[in-house]
Structure 1
Amino acid sequence: MTQITPIPTPASDDGYHFQVMRRAIDLIDASEDMMPLEQLAQKMGMSPAHFQRIFSRWVGVSPKRYQQYLMLGQAKEMLRGNATTLQAAHEVGLSGTGRLHDLFLRWESMSPGEFARKGDGLTIYWGWFDSPFGLALVMGTEKGICGLALASEMGEDAAMQDLMSRWPNATFVEDPMMLRPWVLTAFGAKDGGLDKAPLFLIGAPFQIKVWEALLSIPSGEVTTYSDIAETIGNPRAVRAVGTAVGRNPVSWLIPCHRALRKSGALGGYHWGLPVKRAMLAFEAARAEA
């Protein structure tokens, strides 16, 4: 049986509310038109007032406005008007040890030689946690968080296998309490007790360059795979950039959900496209609020 370490409110409430949002997203996806508040609330077995209250608490805007953010047109609009210029972000220090997007993070990466050993000699601690986007599997070494999988779409077993397979020679130890202060800080809980949540990036050198570029994208903004390729000095490597984005092991904290196709289409998302759409809508609505 999975043991889940709760994050204090509001994050634990957000985890429950995300499940409400997921059900609403499924309903919205099945409808060709905007669904009025009364209809959404009825479909979910809630009163309009209760549903409105949960919705507004989670994202700070009305269900109607949230639906607008979930539409593909909104992603395209973000790309046209609000897409971040990654080069500028680097110039003003929004990478490395600076303040990374909307979270306080610090990071370091494993050396290429260490990466080649596929985790040999590493002890990786793991635990299950509530998160604003459903059940999260978090893994970390003594240096920081190295994996964060979201299981709402792929399931718990698949999420566990996914992360463990990335470092097959490591020793895995269940210890959620060791990770808990980092997770609290990463998800914005006030009693995390830390100024910054540490990340420990385990990947090939090219992957880490791409993930560093992702860390420069502010919350509420998006970029394209081609822009990332330009930023890391390899403009022809768009396909390789897309692969590296998809292999990001630390969802949400390394914001691969903010990378879109040049057309404005969302593209894929390793942890489930509905989760990506919810993340973008969550951030856009919070930015507006």
Structure 2
Amino acid sequence: MTKIVENGTDWKRMATAISYLTGHYQEQPRLEEAAEHVGLSPFHFQRIFTRYIGVSPKAFVGHLTLAHAKAELSKGASVLAAALEAGLSGPSRLHDLCLKVEAMTPGDYAKGGAGLVVDYGFAFCPFGLAIATLTDKGLCGLGFGDDEDAMLADMRARWPKAVFRRADDKAADVVAKIFDAENREILPLYLMGTPFQVKVWQALLAIPSGEFSTYGAIAESLKSPKACRAVGAAVGRNPISWLIPCHRALGASGALTGYHWGVERKRAMLAVEAAKREMVAI
């Protein structure tokens, strides 16, 4: 186990802190206020938040307005198109982690998971409670929420004929690897979707961390410029959130629009990535 799993209390506190800061960013909360909310001294809160999230609380709050996203989109350049030209999309890609991507065949997908065993479990991460679902071919689901029963029902609905087995230790180990900044282990993903959905999810993988694209740009990259709504639906059905970065898809105006696991969680994800990108650029 990594230190992330070993110190689950700190992860739960940091998830609470991110939720608080995301909900109150317009009030520009002081460090002391956020620290008190999670029961820590300002000194320890600053240190633990920066260690676990990778950016300071101030930097995180500073990127929650998404003004940077609108500025990038207003330039008119398609980040996605540039990334695709550079060959970043495809069966595998390095972004936050090394990912090995395999897609279920259309025939297997049509079976609704019949004959498939899915292990699942819950663990805390920066964005709250996470659910991870795994098959022998790799991670097939990653989602976030507050209610275990609702989160599991969401995953079961995707593969109604699969057999689900609870395996919290196995899931927690995978969640730890995903959010451990020092981890460089190759993580296999097993995508379960229609051929069109898989194409959209592969396009999402081409959007670099800290950058953004639009539903329209994704549709154009797939040579289907009129398929914005279909692209939006496929983005919403992404089964492996965060790793397949559907949070990086915005409306044409820079609006957050919807997010399957909550718009405020999407805002937090974008803020963390943008703040980290700024740190690298400095």
Same fold per superposition (TM over 0.5): yes
Secondary structure of the residue aligned to 2:94 is coil
Partner residue of 1:3?
none
Q: How many residues align?
A: 277
1:149 matched to 2:143 = yes
Does the Cα contact within 8 Å between 2:18 and 2:126 map onto a contact in 1?
no
Cα 1:178–1:57 shift into 2, 3 Å: closer
1:119 matched to 2:113 = yes
Q: Distance in 2 between matches of 1:65 and 1:178?
A: 33
Q: CA deviation at 1:103?
A: 1.5
Q: Distance in 1 between matches of 2:44 and 2:170?
A: 37
Q: Where does structure 1 lack aligned partners over 5 or more consecutive residues?
A: 1-5
Q: Which amino acid aligns with 2:158?
A: R
Q: 1:190-224: per-residue Cα shift (whole Å, max 9, x none)?
A: 5x7x7310000000111111001011111111111
One of 138, 147, 167 as aligned partner of 1:175 = 167
Q: Distance in 1 between matches of 2:4 and 2:190?
A: 26
Cα 1:44–1:19 shift into 2, 3 Å: closer
Q: CA deviation at 1:174?
A: 1.9
Q: Which amino acid aligns with 2:134?
A: G
Comparing 44-53 and 261-270, the one that deviates more:
44-53
Partner residue of 2:16?
19
Identical aligned residues as a percent: 49
Partner residue of 1:279?
269
One of 4, 7, 13 as aligned partner of 1:9 = 4
Q: Which amino acid aligns with 1:125?
A: D
The 5 Å alignment of 1:96-135 reads 96-135=90-129
Comparing 277-286 and 123-132, the one that deviates more:
123-132
The 5 Å alignment of 1:27-42 reads 27-29=24-26, 31=27, 34-41=28-35
Partner residue of 1:164?
156
Q: Distance in 2 between matches of 1:36 and 1:132?
A: 20
Secondary structure of the residue aligned to 1:168 is coil
Q: CA deviation at 1:151?
A: 1.7
Does the Cα contact within 8 Å between 1:119 and 1:169 map onto a contact in 2?
yes
Q: Distance in 2 between matches of 1:84 and 1:19?
A: 35
Q: Distance in 1 between matches of 2:249 and 2:218?
A: 9
Does the Cα contact within 8 Å between 1:104 and 1:186 map onto a contact in 2?
no
Segments ≥4 residues shifted beyond 6 Å: none
Partner residue of 2:74?
80
